[in-house]
Chains A and B, each alone.
Chain A
Amino acid sequence: MSSKKSIREALLDHSTLLVLMGAVTIVGVVVQLVGTPLLKNIYTSFCISLMMVLGLQMFMGNSGILSWTHIGFVGVGAYVSGILSMQPMMKQLGVPNMYPFLVSLHAPIGVAILAGGLVAALLAALISYPLMRLSDAAGVITLFATLIVFHVVMTQWDNVTNGPRTFFGLQEYTTLWVALIAALATMVLAWFFRDSALGLRIRASRDDRYAARAVGIDVVRVRYLTFVLSALVMGLAGGIWAHFITSFSPKAFYIAEMFTLISMLVIGGAGSITGAVTGAVVVTIVREALRQVEAAINNAHVLPFEVFGLTELVLAVFMVAVLIWRPVGVIGAQEARLVRLKATSGGGRPAEADKEV
């Protein structure tokens, strides 16, 4: 990288980011101006999913470790921000057994959401160092087990979470604008993280952890720092989501939801921001379309029984099909270059030439 870079070159370097941000913003503005309330809701929840997928991408895409735990941090962010932002009277009503000192806590919503992110990051900082030592199958199983620990605690600790029952009474705060800005900010963060010193190190450790160690990269440490950073994003996303949906239960932070996030990332391509965004778009569209179909079938009463689970069924088939067709995801591990500055050696081959690790 030369130190003297013209603005034009800088813009070209980040053209993909700008195009992605532009597209998400324009659609958002259009939906806000002319969309139906349902469409606005779908787009808001898409923006929040996008934020979560990008947070997950920061760790999973760059480290190459499949993490099931991340949705747990979303849950931590959601509960912490909810507990902080709710009026004490609402809390007594909604969570009768809550610890008295938690009931008296109260903060503005923005502060509460930030606090949710920080608590999630702190929790990640406390528990994750030893987990980062494990790779491959052992790593996947341990992170999966960690999610189950999170879930058990959330469903059983009824002095804080109201147990398996619904946690309700949050104020609505997240509008389409809030979600859109949060998603755009995360996009910028994930984009620049990728090429930061830490991002380069962890990507090196993903491609070959022994070689990375040999050139002096402390693999466990870079994984750890990335994990904490991505937990922060997940926690913030959890707070934003909580103030959109306003009531939730621990079920929202478990395997099914995590599967949706992972499928977005895997379908689009975990290695790149373009892939993460593409995956979130594709999965959201397919899922919403299938939901409409399911509802239409059920409402038309053409079948003698109610149709359940069609959405998940088709999504699963779709995912396996994508994995068979393109195991690195639709986009692959390289960012799509929309503006090619100069022909690269090797004829500028597209992303499928990438070696998947």
Chain B
Amino acid sequence: MILLEFIVNTLSLGSLYALLALGLVLVYGILKLVNFAYGEYVMVAGYGLFLGATYLGAPWYVTIVGSLVLAALVSYLTEIAAFRPVRTKSMDAMLVTSFAVSIFLQNAVLLAISPRAKAVTLPAFMTDSVTVAGVTLPVRNILLVVVTAFLLAGLSLLMKRTVLGMAMRAAADKFTTTRLMGVPANLVISAAFVMSGFLAGVASLFWVSRSSSVDPMTGSGPLLIAFIATVMGGMHSTVGAVVGGFAYGLLFNLLSIVLPASMINYRDAFMFVAVILFLLFRPQGIVSRGYVEERVG
């Protein structure tokens, strides 16, 4: 029974982390940008849920679609307004820009809505539980696994079968060559940002439903998770991101069980030490495909 609970919990946590990591890696793959503003797309989608469900009282399906569109739109707008002009500049300029975008979005929400957390009303099925084989499980955990499976399948089809997907994969591999083949750079990058925002939006739905509230700092947790998961899985492929997400979910659940109660507050520190060690011994991540030498010495 406990084993079944552990498996379902790890699968659903892993799914959430995989979605987060995937959104980050889509942009990183093409632009080689570690997007510090990525967490804010999750936060913005959370506010979309708040505005739709709590503030306007719209039906839940309208709210969900609306917040997904909002996250994708904000992601796209940050690309146009901030990342595109500095794209050709140094990597530091881009990194710092992404951080400035993150600070901007946080404070915009702080200023426009409230510094305090806002409650998000969610449809009943997001908060219910079911009992399967004597184990009580939240419905949203099962839903999360199913949604992730569909999204991954859909994304994989998109990447393999459509022209846009193929262009994006080519751009992630050799961006300059891809451009020389006549693929418009702006289109590919914008598509990556839109998809990144969309995935952040989906993840946000499940992230926010755990606490049923959203505040301006909501994005920092998902951002860190996406970082860890991509680093563990391998930053250079979408498969790596998914593998890393599940690996992180497993590590997190294991640490929660193994660590004594007095050390549980240090769990994040342990996680990050694990990441640092991981990077030192296997900087290419679990999935090493597409890895380019990034170390010296």
What are the residues of chain B within 8 A of A310 when measuring CB–CB? 107, 111
Contact code string A300-330 (vs B, CB < 8 Å = 1, else 0) = 0000000111101101110110011001100
What number of A residues sit within 8 Å (CB to CB) of B?
51
> Is A136 in contact with B294, judged by CB distance below 8 angstroms?
yes
B266–A156 CB distance below 8 A: yes
Contact: A324 with B85, CB < 8 Å? yes
Chain A hits for B111, CB < 8 A: 307-310, 313
In the bound complex, residues from chain B placing their C-beta under 8 Å from that of A328 are: 90
| Chain B interface residue count, Cβ-Cβ cutoff 8 angstroms | 45
In the complex the two chains form, is A356's CB within 8 Å of B90's CB?
yes
Q: How far is the CA of A327 from the CA of B96 in the complex (A)?
A: 10
Is B283's CB within 8 Å of the partner chain A? Answer: yes
| B118 interface hit (Cβ, 8 Å) | no
Which of B95, B107, B108, B231 meets A138, CB within 8 Å?
A: B231
**B103-156: which residues lie under 8 A (CB-CB) from chain A?**
103-104, 106-108, 110-111, 115
Contact (Cβ within 8 A) A133 B296: yes
Task: Give the distance to chain A from B83, nearest Cβ to Cβ, in Å.
Answer: 9
Q: A66-B92, A134-B295, A320-B100 are in contact. Are A308 and B110 (CB under 8 A)?
A: yes
Once the chains bind, are A309 and B297 in contact (CB under 8 Å)?
no
Residue contact B235 to A259, C-beta cutoff 8 Å: no
Which among A130, A209, A316, A327 is the interface contact of B280 at CB below 8 angstroms? A130
> Are B231 and A141 closer than 8 Å at their CB atoms?
yes
- Whether A149 touches B272, Cβ cut-off 8 Å, given contacts A135-B294, A140-B95, A357-B90, is yes
Q: Is the CB of A266 within 8 A of B96?
A: yes
Q: With contacts A137-B34, A145-B276 known, is A319 near B297, CB below 8 A? A: no
User: Does A225 belong to the interface (CB within 8 Å)?
Assistant: no
**Of B101, B231, B275, B297, most A-chain CB atoms within 10 Å:** B297
B97: chain A residues at CB < 8 Å are 319-320, 323
Query: Do B231 and A153 touch across chains, with their CB atoms under 8 A apart?
Result: no
Q: Are B297 and A138 in contact (CB under 8 A)?
A: no
Whether the pair B96, A133 counts as a contact (CB closer than 8 A) is: no
Q: A137-B294, A140-B34, A148-B268 are in contact. Are A313 and B107 (CB under 8 A)?
A: yes
Q: Is the CB of B294 within 8 A of A138?
A: yes
Q: How far is the CA of A218 from the CA of B297 in the complex (A)?
A: 8
User: With A and B bound together, what is the CA distance between A153 and B272 in angstroms?
Assistant: 12
Residue numbers of A with Cβ under 8 A of B are 64, 66, 130-138, 140-142, 144-146, 148-149, 152-153, 156, 205, 209-210, 213, 218-220, 259, 262-263, 266, 270, 307-310, 312-313, 315-317, 319-320, 323-324, 327-328, 356-357
Known contacts A131-B276, A320-B104; 18 further A-B pairs (Cβ under 8 A)? A66-B92, A133-B280, A135-B296, A136-B32, A138-B295, A141-B227, A141-B279, A145-B272, A148-B268, A152-B266, A209-B296, A262-B99, A308-B110, A309-B106, A312-B106, A316-B103, A319-B96, A327-B89
